[in-house]
């Protein structure tokens, strides 16, 4: 099951650049939460703080707390454990190009020490079904490489890879921005299905997409969370003038 995420007084820096300033929000379990805002406002930095990827950058710093379920990710668990529980999918599909489809999906499990063939077979199949890719690849699991798939298939392969380790949260940073409309709608359908089992955070520049998939939406501007509310409220009756200017296309 998905778990809720509680973010308190989160601040993040790259060197002297104070990229995120006092972010507070609650991301509900088993819903999709969309994050919108102009380029450079800190959306990617924010999601990277949710799975401790931000700190992999040597000039990065982070303060404040992030709880997923009962766990404070910065004090109660290791980064490796956190990244297993909180999966991530990036803007550009990044399958391991020379690995087979099967090995791509199994990679996280193998890293965690799983060797049993039957278990691996089952998880690979289940993850690919879950990512809506199974039917397209089931005959070629070990013959085809990650790189031989189309962009949209590669992105669903990356989703399958993320799901294989059984995370509670799935972070998606512009997962469909490099995809055609058909692949995009497949990813959106997928988000709908995945909500039953996972908590989803999706960064998107596409406001229709946020409106279609997310129950809640947060609007970031210059490193601050300006407004966080139900998606319906954000897009029909925002509380802040800056949100209204952004969603009506007056800037950004």
Ligand X SMILES: Nc1ncnc2c1ncn2[C@@H]1O[C@H](COP(=O)(O)OP(=O)(O)OP(=O)(O)O)[C@@H](O)[C@H]1O
Binding site for ligand X (CB under 6 A): 14, 17, 19, 37, 39-45, 57
153 is a site residue for Mg ion (CB under 5 A): no
Residue closer to ligand X, measured from CB, 104 or 243: 243
End-to-end Cα, the chain, rounded Å: 36
Residue among 126, 188, 122 nearest 155 (CA) = 188
Q: What is the largest CA-CA distance in the chain?
A: 56
H-assigned helices in 51-202 = 79-85, 101-111, 117-130, 134-137, 151-164, 181-194
Answer yes or no whether residue 51 interacts with Mg ion by CB under 5 A. Answer: no
- By beta carbon distance, the residue nearest Mg ion is 44
Q: Which is nearer to Mg ion, 12 or 128 (CB)?
A: 12
Distance CA 66, CA 155 (A): 27
**What's the CA gap between 98 and 43, in Å, rounded?**
31
Q: Which entry of ligand X, Mg ion, none binds 41, CB below 5 to 8 A by partner kind?
A: ligand X
Task: Return the range that interacts with Mg ion (CB under 5 A); candidates 9-17, 40-48, 67-75, 111-119.
Answer: 40-48
**Span of 41-49, 76-84, 133-141, 148-156 interacting with Mg ion by CB under 5 A:** 41-49
DSSP class of residue 145 equals B
Residue placing its CB nearer to ligand X in the complex, 45 or 153: 45
Distance between CA atoms of 234 and 244, rounded to whole angstroms? 8
44 near Mg ion (CB under 5 A): yes
Distance in Å, CB of 23 to ligand X, minimum: 12
Window of 1-9, 38-46, 208-216, 225-233 that interacts with Mg ion by CB under 5 A: 38-46
Report the alpha-carbon distance of residue 198 to residue 167 in Å, rounded: 8
Size of the site for Mg ion (CB under 5 A): 1
What lies within 8 Å, CB to CB, of 67 at 6+ separation is 5, 6, 8, 73
* Closest approach of ligand X to the CB of residue 251, in Å: 14
75 binds, among ligand X, Mg ion, none (CB under 5 to 8 A by kind): none
199 binds Mg ion (CB under 5 A): no
Of the pair 43, 52, the CB lying nearest ligand X is at: 43
Strand partners, 20: 12
Residues that bind Mg ion (CB under 5 A): 44
């Amino acid at each position: 099951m998905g778990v809720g995420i509680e973010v308190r007084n989160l601040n993040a820096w790259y060197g002297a650049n104070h990229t995120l300033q006092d972010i507070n929000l609650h991301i509900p379990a088993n819903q999709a939460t969309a994050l919108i805002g102009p380029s450079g406002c800190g959306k990617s930095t924010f999601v990277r703080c949710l799975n401790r990827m931000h700190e992999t950058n040597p000039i990065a710093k982070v303060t404040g707390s992030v709880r997923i379920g009962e766990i404070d990710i910065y004090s109660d668990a290791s980064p490796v454990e956190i990244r297993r529980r909180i999966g991530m999918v990036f803007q550009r599909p990044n399958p391991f190009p020379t690995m087979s489809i099967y090995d791509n999906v199994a990679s996280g499990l193998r890293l965690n020490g799983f060797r049993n063939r039957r278990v691996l077979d089952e998880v690979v199949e289940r993850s690919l079904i879950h990512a809506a890719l199974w039917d397209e690849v089931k005959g070629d699991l070990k013959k085809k490489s990650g790189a031989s798939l189309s962009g949209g298939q590669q992105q669903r392969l990356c989703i399958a890879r993320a799901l294989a380790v059984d995370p509670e949260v799935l972070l998606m940073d512009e997962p469909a921005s490099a995809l055609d409309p058909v692949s995009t709608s497949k990813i959106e359908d997928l988000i709908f299905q995945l909500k039953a089992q996972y908590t989803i955070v999706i960064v998107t520049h596409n406001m229709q997409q946020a409106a279609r998939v997310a129950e809640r939406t947060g609007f970031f501007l210059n490193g601050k969370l300006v407004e966080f509310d139900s998606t319906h409220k954000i897009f029909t009756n925002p509380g802040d003038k800056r949100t209204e200017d952004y969603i009506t296309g007056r800037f950004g």
